[in-house]
Structure 1
Amino acid sequence: MSPAGPLRREVRWSDSDAGRVVHVVGCVTDEVYSFLGPATHALARSGLDQSVVMIDDVQYRHHLVSLHERAELVLAPSLRNPMRQWREVLKALRQTLADSPPRAVHLHGIVPCLVGAWAVRTSGIRAAIFYSPHGSRAMGRFKWIGATLLWLFRPLLQPGSNTAIVNVPQERRAFDKWKSVDVIESPASDVFLTVARNEARHPLVVTGGREHNPRNAELLAQLAVLLTDDALRIGFNWIGSVDPVSRQRLNAAGVSVFDVANDAERAQRLAAGWIYVAPGGTRGFPVFLVEAMAAGLPCVAMDTPQHREVIRDGETGFLCESERDLIGCIATLVDSPTLRTRIGEAARKEARERFGEGRFSSRLLAAYSFDSPTASDPDSPAPLEGAPA
């Protein structure tokens, strides 16, 4: 049985002559969304129309409502067969390009880079192309695969005439032979920078995420068990969604789970914490760590390349090489309100200067070589065509 065609959220294009940007994505994971979401808002404020071609994976549909309301969404059906899956994405993209030639095409992820570049080259359109890996596995644990793909598909990708945009500085090395590489780190929403700190009555360690990540949940559960002490009365909160098995594991360890719906609620939950802990790594930009810094929490993180890019050890947070170090830092911060305040204020100052939404917008538009924002946000869109009632 052949799959149904893509769902579309149709929009009324603006009256601006700024043009259109087409984004091509696989699944909108946390790492991808941390860049794509703010990008759709920044580009909309500049007067640009946008289309986002992506895989309609129910696991990540919660991100769609936070993409800018004036972005047309083109959702390719989610299929188990990878070859059929990407053929559907290619078909949806070709139709989107044919509807109205864009001014630029931004490809998010390694496979979307290959599929999107093929669609653009074979369509005959002339548009600027931007590539972003967003913590793809092919840039991390399997970086030899990513390097091989980039080398094999050089004639298609044309690195000498196109631009890469990375939001994790260490990914820059994979694109050192490209025309240009811009490092544009994902922003923290203003609600985190402005939320008032409101520490709980008793010590509270917080962490979390939106994407299913059993390993991080497992690590937090282990940490909660190790720090269980009636005298210390340390509480643990997971802020975000988890899979059923991880929820059961966290609850068994005495960790409270709060599946928050939006940034404002997450900021309020963070504000009650004494300490934010990042017990495991992330493939891409550590968005939840940055949000905690923006909320003014002292952060304790395992010493991974991504965390090292964000935290200055001993100044804006603490980097730990072992579980013992992690527990030691938590204990020190629990015992010292002055240290919590100093590190938390330094973290928020760093986040405001480095991860503010205004800085992100200006750097993104500069990378696109587009003008600064001038237009206001337009009207709301129509619902998805073909979506179930």
Structure 2
Amino acid sequence: MRQKIVHVTEALGGGVLHCVALLANRQAAAGDDVVVLHSVRQDTPPAAKLNELFDPRVRRQVVDMRTRIGAHDIVSVFRVLIELFRERPDIVHLHSSKAAALGRIAACVLGITSRTIYSPHGFAFLKEDISPLKISLFLLIERMLHAAGGHIVACSKSELRYARMLLLRAERTSLVENAVKLDEFRLDGRRKADEQVVVCTSARVTYQKAPWRFTRLAQRFSGTSKARFMWFGDGEADAIDNWIDRDAVELSGWIPAADLRRRLLQCDIFVLPSLWEGMPIALIEAQAAGLPAVASRIVGNRDVIVHGVTGFLANDDEELAHYTQRLIDDADLRQRMGAAASAHARARFGDSQLFRSYVGIYRRLLTPIQGHSLPAVTHGLSHEVPK
């Protein structure tokens, strides 16, 4: 028998889009009735692209949810509430901080907080581009809403530690690490060793990703023919002009996911100098493609990289340059770390593990209320987990 799952996200782009589509598609394939309520932002792909990413059995509905806090949030809560009342879900799965705030308020009104899950994908209070006052406000909001009910599912061990350390009723927390479809990374497509080393990253050009750090690395090696630097992704024109030196960095612009995977296989080193993360899909994809990585030592990055084994974690810009230099100069080290990165990703970050973990969490949330009268129609959770 089927269960109805409603995913709600304000941020349908980047890593959040990847995670929502991956999980929703697996659930639809397993026979569940799946709905995605989402808003449209600058980083949200057009409808035609979303149709390609989502299984046709997944129903999508646009609901206006804005990033900034304001009076418009009252309207957004009302719209989310109406959609949830109309859909009568067994499980409400909220993604990103803003959707979680709106969704949990709506769930409280409908009396279904016990069946509500929140996946932060990076807590808003960990951002480094907001004031200390906003950080305190976001943390207070998270504590109040978590105290009202619901279950938090962190995407990394570091995020789980923050949830249990900073929020009330920390026993209502779980861990399901982010994942990728490993069968889409064919290592036999990797390029042969070459004199010139290709150093890449994959992200939208935003403040969070610290693109000026990647540019500085590229400028450092621009006077030699040893390395070539590639940025897979796009961004706002002002951000690109301010932070990307096109003479040192080749910018691909937006490329489809399948094309990105092929391009990663033609690279040698992956660099991710972000200021904050949840658990970066781009870094997991790079490791699945057999690339050793150099990344900033922050939440998320440190949960993917095994320092000194699958790559390096850098405390500052000097270490970032030092570790990148080591990998550029040492082909044997790149090969060893790349092989270890691929093995690590395949053992830990497959989409089957992610799906099975969520099946278990959903079952635990539904089991105590089976046989009772619910505001939503309960369909049960008896389908088999696909191999």
Instruction: Normalising by structure 2, report the TM-score.
Output: 0.82
How far did residue 277 of structure 1 move? 1.0
In 1, the alpha carbon distance for the partners of 2:345 and 2:115 equals 31
Contact 2:182 2:351 in 1 (8 A): yes
2:87 to 56, 78, 100: 100
How far did residue 180 of structure 1 move? 3.2
1:184 to 164, 168, 176: 176
Cα distance change, pair 138–273 in 1 and its aligned pair in 2 (3 A): same
Asked whether 1:32 is paired with 2:16, we answer yes
Q: Where do residues 348-359 of structure 1 align in structure 2 (5 Å cutoff)?
A: 348-359=342-353
2:336 to 330, 333, 342: 342
2:61 to 67, 70, 74: 74
Cα distance change, pair 79–304 in 1 and its aligned pair in 2 (3 A): closer
- The residue type equivalent to 1:289 in the other structure is L
Residue 14 of structure 1 corresponds to none
Task: Return 216-225 or 87-96, whichever deviates more.
Answer: 87-96
Residue 284 of structure 1 corresponds to 278
Asked whether 1:46 is paired with 2:30, we answer yes
How far did residue 143 of structure 1 move? 5.2
Contact 1:189 1:263 in 2 (8 A): no
Q: What RMSD, in angstroms, separates the aligned Cα atoms of the two structures?
A: 2.7
Contact 1:213 1:242 in 2 (8 A): no
How far did residue 287 of structure 1 move? 1.4
- The residue type equivalent to 2:105 in the other structure is W
Task: Return 349-358 or 96-105, whichever deviates more.
Answer: 96-105
In 2, the alpha carbon distance for the partners of 1:163 and 1:125 equals 12
Residue 228 of structure 2 corresponds to 235
How far did residue 313 of structure 1 move? 0.9
In 1, the alpha carbon distance for the partners of 2:135 and 2:160 equals 13
CA-to-partner distance for each residue in 1:340-380, whole Å, 9 max, x for gaps?
A: 1110000000000110111111112111114454689xxxx
Asked whether 1:275 is paired with 2:261, we answer no
2:142 to 147, 150, 153: 150
- The residue type equivalent to 2:109 in the other structure is T
Cα distance change, pair 337–69 in 1 and its aligned pair in 2 (3 A): same
Residue 44 of structure 2 corresponds to 60
Asked whether 1:121 is paired with 2:142, we answer no
- The residue type equivalent to 1:64 in the other structure is L
- The residue type equivalent to 1:187 in the other structure is A
How far did residue 182 of structure 1 move? 1.7
1:169 to 130, 154, 157: 157
Cα distance change, pair 279–109 in 1 and its aligned pair in 2 (3 A): closer
In 2, the alpha carbon distance for the partners of 1:282 and 1:192 equals 27
**Uncovered stretches (5+) of structure 1, i.e. residues with no partner:** 1-16, 377-389
Cα distance change, pair 357–87 in 1 and its aligned pair in 2 (3 A): same
In 2, the alpha carbon distance for the partners of 1:209 and 1:334 equals 21
Cα distance change, pair 214–356 in 1 and its aligned pair in 2 (3 A): closer
- The residue type equivalent to 2:341 in the other structure is A
Cα distance change, pair 211–44 in 1 and its aligned pair in 2 (3 A): farther
In 1, the alpha carbon distance for the partners of 2:306 and 2:10 equals 33
Task: Return 62-71 or 199-208, whichever deviates more.
Answer: 62-71
- The residue type equivalent to 1:50 in the other structure is V
Residue 23 of structure 1 corresponds to 7
Give % identity: 23
Residue 7 of structure 1 corresponds to none
How far did residue 221 of structure 1 move? 1.3
Task: Return 234-243 or 54-63, whichever deviates more.
Answer: 54-63
Cα distance change, pair 259–172 in 1 and its aligned pair in 2 (3 A): same
Task: Return 196-205 or 266-275, whichever deviates more.
Answer: 196-205
Secondary structure of the 1:131 match is: strand
How far did residue 132 of structure 1 move? 1.8
In 2, the alpha carbon distance for the partners of 1:307 and 1:80 equals 24
Secondary structure of the 1:313 match is: coil
- The residue type equivalent to 2:144 in the other structure is L
Secondary structure of the 1:59 match is: coil
CA-to-partner distance for each residue in 1:32-82, whole Å, 9 max, x for gaps?
A: 224212111121122111222222224323573423332221212466974
Contact 1:311 1:319 in 2 (8 A): yes
In 2, the alpha carbon distance for the partners of 1:126 and 1:208 equals 36
CA-to-partner distance for each residue in 1:90-117, whole Å, 9 max, x for gaps?
A: 2332222232311111122333223212
Contact 1:365 1:372 in 2 (8 A): no
Contact 1:241 1:259 in 2 (8 A): yes
Contact 1:175 1:181 in 2 (8 A): yes
In 2, the alpha carbon distance for the partners of 1:333 and 1:138 equals 34
In 1, the alpha carbon distance for the partners of 2:141 and 2:217 equals 39
